[in-house]
Structure 1
Amino acid sequence: MAQERLWIFDFDGTLSPLVSDRERAQLHPECKQLLETLVTLPCQRVAVLSSRSVEDLIPRVPIRGVYLGGGSGIEWCFPDGQRVLSEGNWEEQLSRTRDPLLHDLSNISVIPGVELEDKKWSVALHTRNAALLAKEQLYSRIVAWRPPHPVRIFSGPEVLEIQLFPEVDKAFGVRMLCQILKFDLSNGVVVYAGDDENDAVAMRWVIHQGGNALMVGSSFPVAGARIVKDHSSLIEEIRRMVGLDITT
């Protein structure tokens, strides 16, 4: 009998190549094919967990059978269309804390080449188009920043992500999904794949639970995680893990 696995994938930089225009991000065709294959295999559940909102994520992952997590796992959309909000008064807290934080970050991000992205549950400051001096200015401003409410800051390839709720990270999202699905960690295995610091937090939790982690790139090494250089290497590794012919 096949081992029960819960596959959880980051989206940007893992299933989707990083692009300068974030609105144009989409599943790499080979990654789309992989997910479509995984959801058909016995005892395999598949999820995509992103800091994007669920509304943003749904049209980017048009695959039946995949669980979609937004806001690092605060909100979930199930394959049958059911929406689940993790336990807590998130919407109420967001209405109180969002505006002053956005105001601060809008002022901080007024640096040539720095772009602010409002992701509802977090705010991303992208530096892909910024010069080195501009990046240094941004980092200095963030270090000196005293936000009106507690936040949590994660680094990624050419981005700083400000999580509006410090208790929320992708490890939180993985735990929530396991609880919602009643996934038995003593019998099943979680496999997590990602590429940034927030993903690294989830990987450490997954590995501690006896699961597996795959880090795309080597910018955020995690003890016990396997490093794969790109999406093609990620696909090959996963196909090996489930016993699929990597040449097909």
Structure 2
Amino acid sequence: MNDPSGAVIGLDFDGTLSPIVPDPAAARIHPAAPDILAQLSARMSAVVILTGRPPATVLELGPGLTDVPGLVILGHYGFERWENGRISAPPPPAGVPRAEAELPMLLDALGLTGVAVEDKGRAVAVHTRRSPDPDGAFEALRRPLAALAERNGLVVEPGRYVLELRPPGMDKGQALSLFLAERAARSVMFVGDDLGDLAAFDAVRASGLPGVTVCSGSAEVTELAERADIVVDGPDGVMALLKELTAEVRG
């Protein structure tokens, strides 16, 4: 990287900095990540985590992230921002708790078992990974959840055995584009693993900046790998790539 001081490094959390696990609450950041991110942040324009999770949850699941100098966490696809120890966000949308209240009856009516509902504050996620038939449950939920989201002024974001109901008007692409403009970035790299990261890949290409897209690969999602400049093997591969980048910019 010829101009590290003008570079922005953007990263997803789940599946990128943290391995995917059956229970989202049990996820933990890769043990090498905080130190590597701290080294990168000292040499780059910015390191930013872009995630569907709330920033407070990312900090809870990522011990050591508060020690990364200058780190920014854009949670809820950019609706919430953590920086310098403070979280800023607009008021929570009313449609999310209304949709969440309807979910138990919907799941019961569909006869689905092993499906977990995750309250994310500004969003609600429905996970099918622990269902006896994860793919079947995922497909059975697509249309009913789309209708539920529409009734409550929300949109559905599909992911790796998860369907997330959240407010419209922001995605990882928009959030990344705004952040690049804010930092007057001169180059960008984004690392992700899931369908929600496609918008960030598009933002890298639309920025007109020298950019690299990286897929933290898995057998569950192939669309991202097909669009990526580089494919690595999960969070371990992400750490290896970032470590190489750290050595490069160190000189």
Report the TM-score when normalising by structure 1: 0.82
Structure-1 separation of matches of 2:17 and 2:38: 13
Q: Which runs of 5+ in 2 are unaligned?
A: none
Alignment RMSD (CA, Å):
2.4
Look up the equivalent residue of 2:184 and give its one-letter code.
D
Deviation digits for residues 61-87 of structure 1 (CA, Å, limit 9, x no counterpart): 332222122111111111x223333xx
- Residues 118 and 124 of structure 2 are in contact (CA less than 8 Å); yes or no, is this contact kept in structure 1? yes
Instruction: Give the corresponding residue for 1:141.
Output: 144
Instruction: Give the corresponding residue for 2:91.
Output: 91
- Residues 96 and 154 of structure 2 are in contact (CA less than 8 Å); yes or no, is this contact kept in structure 1? no
Identity %: 24
Structure-2 separation of matches of 1:239 and 1:153: 35
Report which structure shows greater RCO (CA 8 Å, sep ≥6). Answer: 2
What's the CA shift for 1:114? 0.7
Q: Which has the larger share of helix?
A: 2
Instruction: Give the corresponding residue for 1:102.
Output: 100
Structure-2 separation of matches of 1:200 and 1:47: 17
Structure-2 separation of matches of 1:121 and 1:106: 18
Instruction: Give the corresponding residue for 1:183.
Output: 183
- Residues 15 and 31 of structure 1 are in contact (CA less than 8 Å); yes or no, is this contact kept in structure 2? yes
Structure-2 separation of matches of 1:82 and 1:143: 34
**Residues 1:235 and 2:233 aligned together:** no
Aligned residues: 232
Deviation digits for residues 183-202 of structure 1 (CA, Å, limit 9, x no counterpart): 114xx112111111111111
Q: Cα gap change, 1:98/1:18 in structure 2, threshold over 3 Å: closer, same or farther?
A: same
What's the CA shift for 1:44? 4.1
What's the CA shift for 1:127? 0.7
Structure-2 separation of matches of 1:166 and 1:225: 29
Note the 1:22-41 alignment, pairs <5 A. 22-40=24-42
Indicate which of 56, 68, 72 corresponds to 1:67.
72
Structure-2 separation of matches of 1:145 and 1:120: 17
Q: Cα gap change, 1:238/1:207 in structure 2, threshold over 3 Å: closer, same or farther?
A: farther
- Residues 51 and 121 of structure 1 are in contact (CA less than 8 Å); yes or no, is this contact kept in structure 2? no
Structure-2 separation of matches of 1:43 and 1:142: 41
Structure-2 separation of matches of 1:12 and 1:67: 16
Instruction: Give the corresponding residue for 2:16.
Output: 14
Q: Cα gap change, 1:18/1:137 in structure 2, threshold over 3 Å: closer, same or farther?
A: same
Look up the equivalent residue of 2:214 and give its one-letter code.
L
Instruction: Give the corresponding residue for 2:154.
Output: 151
Q: Cα gap change, 1:136/1:178 in structure 2, threshold over 3 Å: closer, same or farther?
A: closer
Structure-2 separation of matches of 1:29 and 1:223: 28
Structure-2 separation of matches of 1:11 and 1:129: 20
Partner SS state of residue 20, structure 1:
coil
Instruction: Give the corresponding residue for 1:53.
Output: 54
Partner SS state of residue 164, structure 2:
strand
